[in-house]
Each structure stands twice: as structure tokens, then as C-alpha cells.
Amino acid sequence: MKILVTGSDKVYAIEKLYIRYLTEIGEDVELFPAQSIFYDYYGRSIGNKLMYRLGLSGILKQINAQLKKKIEGWSPDVIWAFKGMEIFPETWRWARNGDTFCCNSSRKL
């Protein structure tokens, strides 16, 4: 089974434990670090923070486009969202239209 986890690639991320143990039992698991991409952009400069707060940043659109590209290229069976606040509801609906099962660790998608 191919599982795409969305979350963080930082050392403190709990999803890294799930990825490690799912991989150990033979599952094909990859991480899409949506939260890390956002926070790396947001923390890079005061200008980025200001652009985001003013609604002038395209970072969320870029993250969603990258996720769609990843899904199209890898075709996961399951997308498991640990941290998905950067991902638009439209992207989740798009992902569910295929044979992909989407689940969230904290609330209903």
C-alpha cells in the first residue's frame, strides 16, 4: 500500500515515528512536508510574514500545486494528514475524486 503523509519533516514531528514504523512493516510511505515548506517560507524574513498577512503571498497556492503534482506522480492509495492547515479544502476534494482514501489524524476532512 502506498501512503502519502502530509505534515512536517522537522525532528520533533510525530508523523516521522508513524512513517518509520509503517516502513518497517513493509508499507511504501512518503512524506509531503507541507507545514515545513510553509514555516520555512514564513520564517525566512519579515517581508514574507508581511506579504502573507496582507494576503499577497502565493505560498499556499504553491504548496497545494506541489501536493497535487506529488499525488499525480506517485498515485498513493492513502493520504494521511497530520498537519494540513496549509492545504485547501478544494485540494482534499480533488484528491478524493480518484481512488485515493484521505484521512486526518485530528478531524474529518
pLDDT digits (tens, 9 = 90+) for 1-29: 999 999 999 999 999 999 999 999 999 99
Which distant-in-sequence residues (6+ apart) come within 8 Å of 57 by Cβ? 41, 48, 51
**pLDDT value, residue 108:** 52
**pLDDT value, residue 97:** 84
| CATH fold for the domain made of 2-104 | Rossmann fold (3.40.50)
Q: Where are the domains of the chain?
A: 2-104
Q: Within its chain, how far is the Cα of 8 from the centroid?
A: 8
Phi then psi for residue 95, to 5 deg, are -65, -35
**pLDDT value, residue 99:** 84
Question: What parts of the chain have a pLDDT lower than 70?
Answer: 106-109
Residue at 52: amino acid letter: Y
Let me know how many helices (H) and strands (E) the chain has, helices first. Answer: 5, 4
